[in-house]
Each structure stands twice: as structure tokens, then as C-alpha cells.
Structure 1
Amino acid sequence: MRSDSLKDTELLVFLNEAPNRNELRGIILYPQMFIYRILSPKIQEVGQDEFVISIFNREKNFQFNSAKGSPVKTIQQERSLWIFPEYKVGITIKGKTIEEVVRDRAVTNIVMISLLALILIIGVWIVYRNVKREVELAQIKSDFVSSVSHELRTPLALISMFSETLEMNRVKSDEKRQEYYSIISQEANRLGRIVNTILNFSKMEAGKRKFQFEEKDLNEIVEQMFSNYKFHLKNKNFQFDFFPGENIPKVKTDQEAVSEAIINLIDNAVKYSDDKKEIIIKTGTDYNFAYIEVADKGIGISSEDQKKIFDKFFRVSTGLVHNAKGTGLGLTLVKHIMDAHNGKIRLKSKLGEGSTFILLFPIKLNT
């Protein structure tokens, strides 16, 4: 039999042998007609918008594509159509060949594996950094306990020794007796400052420290601290000066807390001054801020350590700083006090040339 329109001469006959009857039953299939009418809808349903499925016979120059009008690249994967072995079935991904898709996916997989490896490395680094930080903090706390213990023992030992000497009347001259009284007073004040620092830090850590804000004149606060420290610093051969600014508006401050911040800055200036014993305090205004500036001519702070000096327990471990006594809490408390005032701290320092701390109090909050 023959189909003139499709020029198809191939056929397939299914035989069925009926019992007790001499009959043959079968179906004649024209391959190309079968492809167009039967397979075509199924192929188009399977292919949809992602694939182009082709059925072809190169000898008869026949090819059917599931997507009409779509350019089909060279078919690289093909299999025989089981019902018509001389016809082949091929598949092509739209826009790309299978090899291109495999290659792209391989690149994507490599990128994903690289990203996962990078994330893993970053995670390990973060864990390592945190563990290292915890170890360093534990060491710093241990050093803090040791330092505070020493800081407490030293004034107690001096107070005990000189008071016992005076009590036993071993000092005969009034001049020497007055010197011992002065030492006992200085060490008692020092002991009181250490205890207050630890107590204030404990309150700060627990979030229990309360501030009493009132309209205050910064010049008056600084003048009082200057008067209290002037005699003590001159006895230590320090040049100690105060230059008050003019027309400074009052700001809302806790006078006790601001005094504590100034004391901590002065104490640091004293501890870390070497040959040039000079401390200068200034007040003034800078745009929307009133400020207190404490400057010294001491050893200075390196740019690397400037990022850490407000961290609790931090102390530089080299040079004169290593030999100076302290708890490592003074500047942490200063930072906490300024945060409570919605203020800022500026630091200007250079190794060998001294340091300048500027406490900035906002004026605009008081209008």
C-alpha cells in the first residue's frame, strides 16, 4: 500500500489468529502519518518550552520537530524509535546543547562548592577569633585581679606602716610627722579611688548605675577639680594649668560622674608622663558641643592601641605603660559616662608626644 501525499511506503501489520476461524487481523501504520497524528501531540506536551524533540529519517530526508519555527541545533543525542527502527528520536535543549548545559552546571557546581568552602573557612575563622578573644579576655581578667590585689595591698601596707610608726612615737620631728600624715592621706585617697572605680564598674556592668542630670557650668566643675589636684600635682613637679573658655552655655550633666571622668584622665596623664611633666585642662565650645580637654606631654598612644583603650581591662603591655599601676578600667568608665551624657570622646595622640582627650557634651539637647 502507498500514501502518495506523504510518500511513505512503510507499514506495520499486527496479526491476530482468531480461534476456529481462518482470519488474520492487523493494522497498517504509515510511519510519517503516525508521527504527525499520534506522536506529535505527546511530543509537544513533553517538550513544552524547554526541549525540542525531533523524529527523523536521514535516508528519506524527513524530520519532525516538536517546536515549529524554533531553530534546532545539531542533534547530538539520538536513539532508534522502537516501533520504527529506521526512524530516530533526538532531543535538543532550547538555546543550548546538552554539552553546554552540562558544562554550565559543572561551572555552577564548582562555584557553589567554592562558596561553601569559603563560608566554611570564614566560619572556622570566626570561631577561632571568638575562642581567641575569650582566652585573651580570661587572661586580661586574671591580670586585672592580680593588678587590683596589688593596688589594694600597696596603699594598705603604707597606711599600716606609717600609722604604726606614728602610734609608737618613733618620729621625733614635727616635719617628719607631717610628711607621714601626708603620705597616709594620699594613700587613703588612692585606696578610695580604686574602690570607687571597681564599684562604679560593677554598677555599670550590671546596668544599675544611676545618673542625676542637672544644668551645670563646666568651668565650675573643672575649677573644683583643678583646685583639688593643684597642690598634689605641683608636689610631683607637674606643670598643671587650667584655661577656662568664655560664654560656655550650661549643659545637663551629672557633676559627680563628670568629676570622676576628669579624675581618671588626670590620673592617666600622671601615670604615663615621663620626663615632660605637663598637664593642661581647657574648656570651650565646638559647634553644638561644649567640651573639656585634658592634654599631657607623656608617652602617647599608638594608633593601633587607640582602637582598644576604651575596652574594659585593656592595658598596653610594653614600655612605661607596663610599669604603671592601674586597673585598666579608668577609660572604660570615662566612655560609659560620656555615653550616658549622649556625648563623644575625641583622642589625639602620638607616640612620644603625649595625648589629648576631649570630652564633648551636646548643647542642643538643652535648648
Structure 2
Amino acid sequence: MKKIGIILLLIIVLPIGFLIFNEIGKLNETEKVLEETYNNQLQTILFSVNQYSDDILNSWANKANELNEDDQLLKNFIRENLAIESIFFLYEGKDESAKFIFDEKFISSSDSIKSVVKSILVSNKNLISRLADYQKAGYRKLEPLPVNNVSDLAVVVFSNQNDNKVYTITGFVINPQEFVRKILLPRLQQISQENFIILVRDYQNRFIVSSTNTNYSGQVEFEKQMWLIPHYKIGIVLTRGTIQDLIRNRATNNMILIAILLLVLIAAVMFAYRAVKKELELAQLKADFVSNVSHELRTPLALISMFAETLELDRVKNDEKKKEYYSIISQEANRLGRIVNSILNFAKMEAGKRKFNFESINLNNVVENIYQTYSYHLQNKGFKFEKQLTENLPEVKADAEAISEAIINLIDNAVKYSADLKEVTLKTISTGNSVIVEVIDKGIGISPEDQKKVFDKFYRVSSGLIHNVKGTGIGLSLVKQIVDAHNGTIELVSEPGKGSTFRIILPIDINN
């Protein structure tokens, strides 16, 4: 069994253990890949939002070119796009020549807007001059200008070429909060759905808007500056926690699954080991059974053959001696018959083919018949054989012959395992809802460990008188099968050196 255990360990546990160890080793690498994947996905989302903002401004730039500096049309365009506060034109890159177009609603603040924008233009002359170079190269670039922490204003400029082939700088003065709320918010809601919260904050981390329309003040997973409103930041948050939380949860789940897999494998190995061990033990018990049966059959056959041959050769002249030999032959033949009958009955029980003739019987009558049959035989062997029958014993539904066989097997077992104190007692008891038959001996007893196995097929106690006692190992198993077939139970109370009590408990026949 040790070799089998080692083989099972090598075949099953070690490869799986190696696999688990390898998976644990790769876990950190997998989590890094997962984190990188999440990062890329979130970065892509933020990129798409910025790209959408860029597309909106480009569409405005195209519209402004189409209107060809028509003041009224430009005012109407500003009125239609609430996020635009003013459109201005800067001729030949000179900020002092800037022309501003305002809708009536912004007239009151036009002077302050002009002042701020001109200051921004002066501070970014070099940046503005490069836009004309881009335009000459055939590329129009939208360029946000730094607003020096003026959070309620954004300036975006680009270069144009008019019909006279004069390069001008066109610019939008944008209200960033209106742009985010009116232009970006629907897009944020469309992208995020239920998986993310996309939000916008200003340079002081003050909340502007989020895709869920709720004020969010927690940790932001990823955050980038908006391309066209640099002093605003657009961020993204996972609705189910941070990426670190997801990775931590996934790692925990993986470890739990690995632990469960390991436990299942250990349980499977233990189950396989026990199954193999049980099969080997059963095979050994069967081998012992064959050996014991062979020995049991050989002994009476040898005696019968020997004494029959002696009588046949007429070597015994004394009639009394002949009678003794005839008695031995008869006893051994009966013994041989009992062995064969026990084996046949056991085989029938195992195959489920044994038929029982159930009828209402009084167990006192069964015990009395057994006592009368075996009292002389046991007394000749030096046993004190007694009976204690309870009067007015209720009847039970049972097969009298099968119950007799079970009791006889218990008596035979008591006789075999009695040492110096040879006493066997048959006892009947009524408990109200059942009837009990007890077979009590003063023999060598049975240890607690063996008590759990004595009713198993082919099992024989491996201590005490076992080496000197004949038997097949099926007697007690047959008793249990008979009792189970009667819906009863069998109990054993024993202590090594103090004897044993086998108790057959049968339910009362309530129809009588």
C-alpha cells in the first residue's frame, strides 16, 4: 500500500502540484498584462473623448470659414452654439488688429473678454506665428492657448487663408463649462454606459461634470488633460472599483480556485488510495476465505473418509467402538452440511436471490427449539448453556428458519471464542415496540477496533484464539444480512477478556 500511495502521489499530485506552482508563478505576470490591457482600454476611451472634442472644434472651424467673416452670420452661429462666447480674427498675426464678433448676450462682458484674449495673444506670438506655417504646408491645426488658470475661459486658434491669399488667424473664445455640459456630456454618457464613470475637473480638481450626472469626489483611476481645454482634465473611474481592486479580486479568486482544485485532487487521491486499499484487503480476505473454507471442508472430509474406510475394512470388532465411529461420521457430515449451507445461503444473500417466508412467530419458540437441539452438544463440550425467556413475548413477522440460522451462527461464534470460562446464555426481551434475542458469552471478547468490522464479509479477528479457531469469516456477515432483511438491527457489546453480547432486535408484528 505504501508503494501504491507513492505511485498515486507521483502520477497525480506532483504534476498537478507543478502546474499549480507554475500558475502561481505566472500570476503576477498575468496581472501585469491585465493591468496593461485595462490601461490601454481606458486610455483609448479618453483618446476618443478628446478626439470627439477635436472633431467638434474642426466642424466649427469649417463653419467659420464658410461664413467668410460675415458679422451677422457669425453672430447667428454664436447664438446657435452656446459654448462659444466670441469669434475673433487676427490679420497677419498682429494682435492689435484683432476683430471680435459677439452675440448680444455677451456684449456686457465683451471688453473684459477682449482684454483677456489680447493678453493671451501677446503671450503666445511665437505659437500663433507657427500656425501660418502649418497652413502654408497644407495642414490646418487647432491650437489651444494657455489661459493662465482662467478656468471660465478657453481660447482655441487656427490659421485660415482668405480669397486674397492673406493668412489670418481665427479663434474661438469658449466657455469650457458650457462646452463640457452641452457638447461633451451626451458623448460621455454614450461611451461610459454602466461600466465606467467619465468625469471632467478643472485645474484645481473641482468637479465639473460626470457621465452619471452625479458629483464624484473619489479617486480617479486615469486622468488626462483635454486637448483643446488644457486647464481641464478628463478622467475615468471603473464602476466596480479600481483596477487594483479588480486585479486583487481576480488574484484572490484564482488562489481560491487553485486551493479548491488542490483540495479536490487530494480528496481524489485519498479516495483512490482508500478504494485500492479496500480492494486489496477484500482480495486478501477472499483469499483467506478460500483457504479457510478449504481447511474447513478438508477436516470433516478427512475424518469421514478415515472412519468410513476403517469400518469398511472391518478393522473395528467392538460394537461400541463402531457406534462411536458412526457417531463421528454423522457429526462430521452434519458439520460439512452446515458449512456448505452457510456458503450457499451467503451466496444467495449476496446475489439477492434468497427468499424468506415471513410469518408471525414467537421468538421464545425459536429459542427453545435451538436450546433443546444444542444443549446436549454444548454440555458435552463442557459449556454451561442457559436460557432466559421473557413470558408473553409479542410475536414478530419473521422467517423462523432464517432467524434460527442467525442465532445458531451466534452460538457457534460464542463457542469458538470461549477460553477458560465456558458459558453461553440465550435471552429474550420485550421492549414495547421490538423483541430482542441476546446471545451472551464469557469468551475472549472483541476489541473496539474489531467491533466495527466483525460484520464485514470474510473478516476475522486477527488476535486471541484466531489461529486455533476454525471458521470461514462469513458467519457474522450472514447474521447481519438476515437481520437487515427482517428490517431489524444487530448490536454488539463486548470488552476484551470479559465476553461478548450479540443482540438481535426485531420489530413487533403490529397486526397481532
Inter-CA distance 8–70: structure 2 relative to 1 (3 Å threshold): closer
Alpha-carbon contact 1:315-1:321 (below 8 Å) kept: yes
Shift of 1:45: 4.0
Alpha-carbon contact 1:75-1:92 (below 8 Å) kept: yes
Shift of 1:186: 1.6
Alpha-carbon contact 2:307-2:325 (below 8 Å) kept: yes
Corresponding position of 1:64: 209
Aligned match for 2:499, one of 339, 354, 360: 354
The 1-side partners of 2:438 and 2:457 are apart by 22
Inter-CA distance 333–32: structure 2 relative to 1 (3 Å threshold): same
Shift of 1:87: 4.2
> Does 1:179 pair with 2:330?
no
Shift of 1:304: 1.7
> Which secondary structure does the structure 1 equivalent of 2:484 belong to?
helix
Corresponding position of 1:321: 466
> Which secondary structure does the structure 2 equivalent of 1:295 belong to?
strand
Inter-CA distance 355–60: structure 2 relative to 1 (3 Å threshold): closer
Which of 25-34 and 144-153 deviates more?
25-34
Alpha-carbon contact 1:219-1:283 (below 8 Å) kept: yes
> Does 1:210 pair with 2:369?
no
Inter-CA distance 166–52: structure 2 relative to 1 (3 Å threshold): same
> Which secondary structure does the structure 2 equivalent of 1:366 belong to?
coil
Alpha-carbon contact 2:207-2:217 (below 8 Å) kept: no
> Which secondary structure does the structure 1 equivalent of 2:346 belong to?
helix
Q: Which residue type is aligned with residue 321 of structure 1? A: I
> Does 1:287 pair with 2:432?
yes
CA deviation string 1:2-25 (max 9, x = no partner):
477982223265x79899999999
Q: Aligned ranges for residues 73-84 of structure 1 at < 5 Å?
A: 73-81=218-226
Aligned match for 1:305, one of 418, 432, 450: 450
The 2-side partners of 1:214 and 1:356 are apart by 27
Alpha-carbon contact 1:52-1:72 (below 8 Å) kept: no
Inter-CA distance 59–340: structure 2 relative to 1 (3 Å threshold): closer
Corresponding position of 2:189: 44
The 2-side partners of 1:19 and 1:139 are apart by 109
Which of 314-323 and 62-71 deviates more?
62-71
Q: Which residue type is aligned with residue 167 of structure 1? A: E
Corresponding position of 1:54: 199
Inter-CA distance 164–252: structure 2 relative to 1 (3 Å threshold): same
Alpha-carbon contact 2:444-2:496 (below 8 Å) kept: yes
CA deviation string 1:71-128 (max 9, x = no partner):
4322243344456566433222347433233323322222222112111111111111
> Which secondary structure does the structure 1 equivalent of 2:154 belong to?
coil
Inter-CA distance 12–181: structure 2 relative to 1 (3 Å threshold): farther
Corresponding position of 1:275: 420
Shift of 1:135: 1.5
Q: Normalization by structure 2: what TM-score?
A: 0.65
Shift of 1:70: 5.0
Q: Aligned ranges for residues 150-299 of structure 1 at < 5 Å?
A: 150-299=295-444
Inter-CA distance 71–57: structure 2 relative to 1 (3 Å threshold): closer
| Structure 1 or 2: more helix by fraction | 2
Gaps of 5+ in 1: none
Inter-CA distance 165–35: structure 2 relative to 1 (3 Å threshold): same
The 2-side partners of 1:70 and 1:322 are apart by 88
The 2-side partners of 1:20 and 1:138 are apart by 109
Corresponding position of 1:8: 153
Alpha-carbon contact 2:397-2:509 (below 8 Å) kept: no
Alpha-carbon contact 1:75-1:90 (below 8 Å) kept: yes
Inter-CA distance 18–284: structure 2 relative to 1 (3 Å threshold): farther
Greater C-alpha radius of gyration: 2
The 2-side partners of 1:216 and 1:314 are apart by 32
Q: Which residue type is aligned with residue 217 of structure 2? A: V
Shift of 1:214: 1.4
Q: Which residue type is aligned with residue 218 of structure 1? A: L
Alpha-carbon contact 1:72-1:92 (below 8 Å) kept: no
Corresponding position of 2:243: 98
Inter-CA distance 226–151: structure 2 relative to 1 (3 Å threshold): same
Shift of 1:173: 3.0
The 1-side partners of 2:345 and 2:458 are apart by 14
The 2-side partners of 1:7 and 1:76 are apart by 25
Shift of 1:282: 0.7
The 2-side partners of 1:75 and 1:365 are apart by 79
Shift of 1:58: 1.9
The 1-side partners of 2:291 and 2:161 are apart by 107
Alpha-carbon contact 1:51-1:92 (below 8 Å) kept: yes
Gaps of 5+ in 2: 1-83, 87-105, 110-150
Aligned match for 1:89, one of 231, 234, 238: 234
Alpha-carbon contact 1:251-1:366 (below 8 Å) kept: no
Aligned length in residues: 366
The 2-side partners of 1:231 and 1:238 are apart by 10
Q: Which residue type is aligned with residue 222 of structure 2? A: Q
The 1-side partners of 2:413 and 2:248 are apart by 66
Aligned match for 1:149, one of 263, 284, 294: 294
Shift of 1:351: 1.0
Q: Normalization by structure 1: what TM-score?
A: 0.89
Alpha-carbon contact 1:282-1:294 (below 8 Å) kept: yes
Q: Which residue type is aligned with residue 102 of structure 1? A: I
The 2-side partners of 1:60 and 1:165 are apart by 119
**Between the two proteins, what is the percent identity of the paired residues?**
54
Q: Aligned ranges for residues 93-132 of structure 1 at < 5 Å?
A: 93-94=238-239, 96-132=241-277
Alpha-carbon contact 2:155-2:171 (below 8 Å) kept: no
